[in-house]
Structure 1
Amino acid sequence: MKKILVHICCGVDAVYALRKIKEEYPDAYIEGYFYDPNIHPEEEYILRWIETERVCNDLGIKCYLAPYEIEKWLTAVKGLENEPERGKRCSVCHDLRLEKTAEFARENRFDAITTVLMMSPKKDFQVLKEIGESIARKYDLQFLSIDFRKNGGIEKMNRLSKEAQLYHQNYCGCMYALFQQREGEYIKELVSYGKGRLPGSREELLFIKQIRAFAESLGLPCKEEGFNFVNWRVIHSILKINKQEIPHSVLWFSRSVKGILRAKVKNLMYEDDKKVALLNKYNCKIWILNQTLKDIPLEMPRVFTEPILIVGSDYRDLIDIDTKVEIRLKTEFDENGRSQNLIIGNPEAVHTLEYYSDTLPDGKEGYSFINIKGAILENLDRIRRGEIKVVIYGAKTAGNLGKMYMKKAFINI
């Protein structure tokens, strides 16, 4: 029996390619090997691994996760940063991945290796074939050159990927390729948000995928319902009061301030949980909380986008009528924001356990994987019987958008 090790770069490329390999080698023993040292950031690596593991589990194929080795890749491609797509940098990248795969294959007594990179229309098939055959000879292995794209392979891959609701990445993982494609632009794909899982972020999606993978490992049916929304983020912000720089946060959907706003407090209003300072320019406000500084989630989407900056109670006595204020604020609205709800169990179940996938930037106002895992295990029998479902809503802190979408309770905003 031929023993084949398949290098895998992502679930999307693997979902059809693995089926094709099983079809062409029905008597072979097949395992997967996930290794992509070019992927940045690490959260992206983990996200693609989770989806790869889902695909392999569905096909009954064991898959190994190789270490994340971005520094090794950076060293290997040094000097090739400006190479075009399919250029020398890509060849070095293929070398790294297939060399690591071949090393693992020889150590574990495989007979042959191949790669699902041959699925991607963005990769040069002939280059991959030559590199694969050269490395395979070095390790006394056979390299299987399979043109997965033939006979409608791309269309079959897209169909299977959609049916499985796989995460479909929009870049190969290489930061240098993204730099070239989006010269001078802010590249959100390369940003990690630390402790928080912001609405529409990779971290929020990764959280959903981790929960889905766990639920499916218990044999529970899962369904994702994606939805688009106007997303928002702070690019940079500075708040000075009487020339003193003040720690602060910015309320969701605050618009940018052009240049530097120099203003004075013209009025003060007092509410139960805060003092509100209205400035004499730009319809701008400062919320002074009755507690230490924290981010504020939205209960409903904001209709008005005047800039609102938030400070803690430490600075309550510093702000009064005619206090001088200086603000620099750059924010960005993204009409292509996307989040998703996850339904675990029978969608028609009468009873629902509700959770949320996003958090505030500091990681607060949210649930942990352990919270939701515990709830699933505690109610496992009832979920299996269809009495109860678990729903994880997306984009809560941006105004409960996931729950609104689920209930179809749209408002004109």
Structure 2
Amino acid sequence: MLATYATHPEHTRGRLFDESESAFREPFQRDRDRIIHSSAFRRLKHKTQVFVEHEGDYFRTRLTHSIEVAQVARTIAGALGLNQHLTEAVALAHDLGHTPFGHTGEDRLDELMKPHGGFDHNAQALKIVTSLEHHYAKWDGLNLTWEALEGIAKHNGPVVGELPFALAEYNARHDLELSTHAGAEAQVAALADDIAYNNHDLHDGLRAGLFTMEEIAELPIVGEMIRKVDGKYPGLDAGRRRHEALRRVFGVMVEDVLVTSKRLIQEANPASVEEVRALDHAVIRFSDHLWTDLKVIRKFLFSRMYRAPSVVEMRKRVTKVLEELFAHMLANPSDLPDGWQQALKGADETAIARHVADYIAGMTDRFALQEHKRLGLKG
């Protein structure tokens, strides 16, 4: 049973290209399944969060992160009476637009693309599911429902001001109402993303030896959970101690979102998903107190993990790889694969640059390094 403020499948605004719906799957289930079967989703296996793909088998990739986000999102959506299928679809798609080499790659590609409209991974995810996937006979993209596309475009909130080129281009032909909040399902996906990366970055940083359990015991939430584990399981081995503490941190974040969101929904009392969109604030949120604690944790991770000397050194190396790949492909578009060259006939510099950015953004860490070596670039 879905809540009145949930997104009900029978009231979907439909798809850009008309097609008959399944007799045994609701529209948002089909959205989820199409995302899972897409090429871009499979490539997430070899795209990393913080560490480069070859640095270790235990570190999170974009694929494992997306699966974790989807699991958290389904749990929260179910507890709030929301549509779990739509929530999962948005959660699984939220990182499709990321470049190789994590945020390092995105930041550099955005700088390189400034003369040509910039680069934004959320806009790129929308472009992937609406045009860059080429599998269906009747259309480009996955032909997802309006609600799934809305969630991908604005799960982090309304998109205002100057729009990323890819987002503006699609919105001109299929209005996603970017100035409003998304439905509660997409808002859940956004908070599930925060929960997942706050937890697994602590886990990956510990495994990489960038900091110790004793150091994170000084952090809010984390320290309390470590003390609870030590009190209940004295003498527990290091691996189990770490896992027990961090899974409790996970639980604290999920519980806080549920309690806070239930209160906000009750106060707003929306009678439909349209009323959720019309609100001037999100209804899925952390409490102010927990958000303050999470900012302390993020500050610690920024200094001790994202700016750790070993990570910074690798960032420099992969930034150079991406820069040289972009410069080479822009100057030599004939080195693009045959299928990518066909769209370049009569294209100007900006069109070529956007095409090259699409190609590079779709690369995995491994493939980017292989292409860089194959082309004989300096590095």
TM-score by length of 2: 0.32
Larger radius of gyration: 1
Greater RCO structure (CA 8 Å; 6+ sep) = 2
TM-score by length of 1: 0.30
Which structure's residues are more often strand, by fraction? 1
Which structure's residues are more often helix, by fraction? 2
